[in-house]
């Protein structure tokens, strides 16, 4: 693109103010968005009349934002709080006095006193036509659709009382469903061309897999050269799924296979649950966002027929032991032994979306990625080795299922190298949404269940492992352990809460000074360790570009591909927005705060597994089972 540079600088400039507005701003049309004013709220108020009611609204808000602030409902479809505006579905049109045409509330910035009608006859008819036109070209029946009762199109059809399809209705599929990817399934027949996925992939994530192709009635969302999703640079983050209003995008669902395994008496089906789904699954059962249901979920999983229920926090702790040790070794190799082969900064590697992003776009930094497998994969590996040996079961009989907030984990568990136990480490990755569906199908009402504990061993996780679910959590967990290993003292933050790495700002940095270190870490005396945390691959890109340009230097960097970290993962309940992600984060942090065990290296079951099996972190055996390697991939 010719104006890439101008675009970028403008974008960067807008980042700060855009964040305040909770709106990714862009002024390019990759998304068809067109120009978005650099909107800064000055605090100035403007008198606006909405439906004969006089209101004072902030100058610079769009009509849609202003209306929502005042609890006035205007429907929307292509609009998404996380994305730049497109103004293309035309569902949000309103009438503005003096304007010849209707205007889209999602794009129209209030900068002078105006009179708005949000539901005049003209408006209602226009919206109804828009919806009918969409539905006429929409192949699908709601009752056989996974978004049934959670579909924005369906909801609007209901809201506008669509009881006939005057322009007809497609009766046969026109496209093949693309099931090539382990993570994301695309059904173009359900697509209403709102381009939320494109804006997610191009602007929010800066991966750029999806684009609009063709014109007019032939317009469609397409991958590069219309290739199957598995063959393009898709990082499987599933962020597009979470922002698709319909079922045109969904995760590749292994529920059937999981049921089959459960129903097979010869199989031992073990599930591990990650912290983020536990803080979110309640939303699918009518609980408010930010309600953690960890122990009720354990009960539900047993009712479903899982033989054992374990806590991914356990292997998150294991990850911290391995990764923390790796980090200290790297620092020593670089600083003391001047080993040119060892690379700093070290990037975290527990996010498979980020790993694949790096493999595609930054193969030159793959040596900077920690070699640690993700907690999910570590868990699978130890279940089929240590655990099988310990309990005397044939690992061939074990089916490992992982409840994850993530669609990329589905791809990860199918990576050919993830078999160091001799078996597929993790057999199936289930998303939060898929598990909720299983629970519903079994007639279980999750919120009503009594609580029960995880199975042991491998069922004990620390608060450090728990906060992996939020952006910054891995870094915080690692620091709690590394600092203490090096100095013998607790990390110098009140109540162990390392606030500088928390929050939803896209990129966060901190410097940790190591003083009065233990003798064996003398090389770190007085060292100022620079760390950074980024979430959303667009922000990872910024960091890596800074490093490659020689402008930025850090020692240790946490990257999560999804906005908000895992709690905003592509397998989490739909809808998503900043408010929901913040609520989930609060749930996770307050759970951590309530725990007695908040440091990975103090987890007795972790100490036990090293004693009984691995010896010490980064041991030969640990390397074989808990570490991995990466594959440079092309950009096309």
Partner 1 sequence: MLIDSKKQILFSEFTPGYGLSIALKMSPEKIIDIMIRSTLRGRGGAGFPTGLKWQATAKAQKTPKYIVCNADEGEPGTFKDRILLSDYSEKLFEGMTIAGKAVGSNKGIVYLRGEYRYLLKKLDKVLNRLRKIGYLGKNILNSGFDFDIEIVLGSGAYICGEETALIESLEGNRGEARNKPPFPTDEGYLGCPTVVNNVETFSYVPYIINKGADWFMEIGTEKSKGSKLFSISGDVKFPGVYELPFGVSIAEILELVGARDTKAVQVGGASGICISKKDFDKPLAFESLPPGGSIIVFNKSRDMLKVLKNFIEFFVEESCGQCTPCREGNYRLLEAVEKLERGECSINYLKVLRKLAESMKYTSKCGLGQTSPNAFLSIIDNFKGEILARPKKVND
Residues catalogued as catalytic: 323, 326, 350, 370, 409, 412, 417, 566
Closest approach of Cβ 91 to partner 1, in Å? 8
CB of 223 to ligand SF4, least distance (A): 8
Among the residue ranges 111-119, 140-148, 294-302, 318-326, the one whose residues contact ligand SF4 (CB under 6 A): 140-148
Whether 74 contacts 64, CB under 8 Å? yes
Candidate residues 30, 57, 67, 538; the one interacting with partner 1 per rule CB under 8 A: 30
**Is 325 a residue that touches ligand SF4 (CB under 6 A)?**
no
The label of the residue with tokens 């930054």 reads 362
Q: For residue 101, what is the DSSP state?
A: S
Among 79, 108, 506, 556, binds partner 1 (CB under 8 A): 108
* 12 phi-psi bin (left φ>0, alpha ψ -120 to 50, beta other): alpha
Q: Does 193 bind ligand SF4 (CB under 6 A)?
A: yes
3 binds, among ligand FES, partner 1, ligand SF4, none (CB under 5 to 8 A by kind): partner 1
Task: Out of 24, 72, 106, 244, name the contact with ligand FES by CB under 6 A.
Answer: 106
574 in Cβ contact with 437 (< 8 Å):
no
- The nearer residue to ligand FES, 68 or 227, going by C-beta atoms, is 68
- Report which DSSP code applies to 48: E
Q: Which of 8, 10, 302, 332 binds partner 1 (CB under 8 A)?
A: 10
**CA 112 remoteness from chain centre:** 38
Q: Which residues contact 399 (CB under 8 A, 6 or more apart)?
A: 261, 267, 268, 269, 270, 427, 428
Interacting residue with ligand SF4 among 18, 26, 83, 237 (CB under 6 A): 237
**25 touches ligand SF4 by CB under 6 A:** no
Of 317, 311, 430, 429, nearest in space to 372 by CA? 317
Nearer to ligand SF4, 245 or 617 (CB): 245
Site for ligand SF4 in 166-185 (CB under 6 A): 184
> With binding defined as CB under 6 A, does residue 76 bind ligand FES?
yes
Instruction: Give whichever of 212 and 444 is closer to partner 1, judged by the CB atom.
Output: 212
Structure letter (DSSP) for residue 384: I
CB of 453 to partner 1, least distance (A): 52
Which CB sits closer to partner 1, 218 or 256? Answer: 218
Distance CA 467, CA 250 (A): 27
The reply to whether 588 sits near ligand SF4 by the rule CB under 6 A is: no
Binds 6: which of partner 1, ligand FES, ligand SF4, none (CB < 5-8 Å by kind): partner 1
User: On the CB side of 378, how many CA atoms lie within 13 Å of its CA?
Assistant: 31
Q: Give the E-state strand segments of 241-319 in sequence order.
A: 249-251, 268-273, 308-311
Alpha helices (H) in 137-282, listed in sequence order: 152-159, 196-198, 239-243, 255-263, 275-278
The single residue among 30, 57, 88, 156 that binds ligand FES, judged by CB under 6 A, is: 88
150-to-145, 156, 172, 517, 573 alpha-carbon distances in Å:
10, 11, 23, 54, 10
State the CB neighbour count (10 A cutoff) for residue 588.
26
Tell me if 251 sits within 8 A of 241, measured CB to CB: yes
404 membership: H or E segment, kind and range: strand 398-404
Contacts of 134 (CB under 8 A, 6+ apart): 89, 153, 192
Which segment (21-29, 200-208, 230-238, 285-293) binds partner 1 by CB under 8 A?
A: 21-29
- Tokens 């991939």, located at residue: 633
Can residue 239 be called a binding residue for ligand SF4 (CB under 6 A)? yes
Query: Residue 45 in 3-state DSSP?
Result: strand
Cβ(542)–Cβ(507) below 8 Å: yes
What is the gyration radius of the CA atoms in the chain, in angstroms? 25
Q: Is 109 a residue that touches partner 1 (CB under 8 A)?
A: yes
Binding to partner 1 (CB under 8 A) within 132-161 occurs at 133-134, 136-137
Q: Answer for the pair 419, 398: CB distance below 8 angstroms, yes or no.
A: no
Closest among 506, 120, 521 to 335, alpha carbons compared: 521
Q: Please pick, from the candidates 195, 409, 599, 601, the single residue that binds ligand SF4 as defined by CB under 6 A.
A: 195
2's contact among ligand SF4, partner 1, ligand FES, none, with CB below 5 to 8 A by partner kind, is: partner 1
Among 30, 48, 77, 531, binds ligand FES (CB under 6 A): 77
State the Cα–Cα distance between residues 198 and 207, nearest whole angstrom. 10
- Our CB check for ligand FES shows the closer of 90 and 502 to be 90
Q: Output the smallest distance, CB 45 to ligand SF4, in A.
A: 33
306 binds, among partner 1, ligand SF4, ligand FES, none (CB under 5 to 8 A by kind): none
Q: Which is nearer to partner 1, 62 or 200 (CB)?
A: 62
270 neighbors 310 (Cβ within 8 angstroms): yes
Q: Which does 191 bind (CB under 5 to 8 A by kind): partner 1, ligand FES, ligand SF4, none?
A: ligand SF4
Contacts with ligand SF4, residue ranges (CB under 6 A): 138, 140-142, 145, 147-148, 151, 153-154, 184, 190-197, 200-201, 205, 207, 209-210, 221, 234-240, 244-249
Contacts with partner 1, residue ranges (CB under 8 A): 1-3, 6, 10, 27-30, 32-35, 37, 85-91, 93, 100-102, 104, 107-109, 122, 125-126, 129-130, 133-134, 136-137, 166-167, 192-193, 212, 214-219
């Amino acid at each position: 693109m010719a104006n890439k540079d101008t675009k970028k600088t403008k974008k960067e400039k807008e980042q700060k103010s855009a964040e305040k507005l909770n709106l990714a701003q862009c002024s390019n049309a990759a998304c068809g968005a067109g120009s978005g004013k650099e909107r800064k709220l000055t605090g100035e108020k403007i008198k606006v009349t909405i439906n004969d009611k006089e209101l004072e609204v902030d100058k610079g808000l769009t009509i849609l934002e202003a209306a929502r602030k005042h609890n006035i409902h205007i429907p929307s479809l292509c609009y998404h709080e996380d994305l730049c505006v497109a103004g293309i579905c035309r569902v949000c049109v309103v009438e503005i006095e003096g304007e010849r045409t209707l205007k889209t509330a999602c794009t129209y910035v209030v900068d002078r006193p105006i009179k708005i009608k949000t539901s005049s006859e003209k408006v209602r008819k226009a919206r109804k036509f828009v919806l009918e036109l969409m539905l006429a070209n929409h192949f699908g029946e709601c009752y056989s659709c996974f978004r049934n009762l959670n579909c924005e199109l369906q909801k609007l059809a209901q809201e506008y009382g669509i009881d006939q399809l005057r322009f007809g209705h497609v009766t046969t599929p026109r496209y093949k469903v693309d099931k090539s990817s382990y993570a994301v399934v695309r059904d173009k027949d359900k697509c209403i061309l709102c381009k939320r996925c494109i804006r997610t992939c191009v602007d929010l994530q800066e991966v750029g897999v999806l684009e609009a192709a063709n014109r007019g009635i032939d317009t469609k969302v397409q991958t590069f050269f219309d290739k199957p999703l598995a063959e393009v640079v898709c990082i499987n983050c599933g962020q597009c799924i979470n922002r698709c209003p319909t079922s045109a995008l969904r995760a590749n669902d292994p529920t059937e296979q999981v049921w089959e395994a459960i129903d097979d008496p010869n199989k031992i089906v073990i599930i591990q649950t990650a912290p983020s789904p536990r803080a979110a699954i309640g939303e699918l059962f009518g609980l408010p966002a930010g309600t953690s249901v960890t122990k009720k979920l354990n009960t539900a999983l047993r009712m479903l027929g899982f033989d054992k229920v374990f806590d991914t926090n356990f292997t998150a702790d294991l990850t911290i032991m391995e990764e923390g040790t790796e980090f200290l070794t790297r620092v020593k190799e670089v600083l003391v032994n001047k080993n040119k082969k060892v690379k700093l900064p070290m990037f975290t590697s527990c996010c498979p979306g980020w790993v694949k992003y790096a493999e595609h776009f930054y193969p030159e930094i793959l040596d900077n990625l920690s070699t640690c497998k993700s907690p999910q994969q570590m868990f699978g590996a130890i279940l089929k080795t240590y655990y099988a040996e310990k309990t005397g079961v044939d690992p061939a009989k074990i089916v490992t299922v992982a409840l994850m907030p993530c669609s990329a984990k589905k791809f990860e568990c199918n990576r050919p190298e993830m078999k160091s136990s001799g078996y597929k480490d993790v057999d199936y990755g289930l998303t939060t949404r898929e598990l909720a569906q299983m629970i519903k199908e079994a007639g279980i009402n999750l919120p009503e269940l009594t609580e029960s504990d995880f199975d042991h061993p491998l069922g004990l996780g620390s608060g450090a492992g728990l906060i992996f679910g939020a952006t910054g959590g891995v870094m915080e967990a690692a620091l709690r352990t590394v600092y203490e290993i090096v100095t013998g003292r607790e990390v110098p933050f009140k109540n162990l809460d390392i606030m500088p790495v928390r929050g939803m700002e896209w990129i966060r940095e901190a410097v940790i000074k190591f003083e009065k270190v233990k003798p064996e870490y003398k090389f770190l005396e007085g060292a100022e360790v620079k760390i950074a945390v980024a979430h959303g691959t667009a922000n990872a890109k910024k960091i890596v570009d800074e490093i490659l340009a020689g402008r930025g230097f850090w020692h240790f960097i946490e990257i999560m591909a999804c906005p908000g970290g895992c709690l905003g993962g592509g397998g989490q309940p739909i809808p998503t927005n900043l408010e929901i992600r913040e609520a989930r984060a609060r749930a996770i942090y307050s759970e951590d705060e309530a725990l007695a065990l908040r440091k990975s290296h103090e987890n007795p079951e972790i100490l036990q597994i090293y004693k009984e099996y691995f010896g010490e972190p980064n041991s030969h055996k640990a390397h074989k089972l808990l570490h991995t390697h990466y594959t440079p991939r092309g950009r096309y």
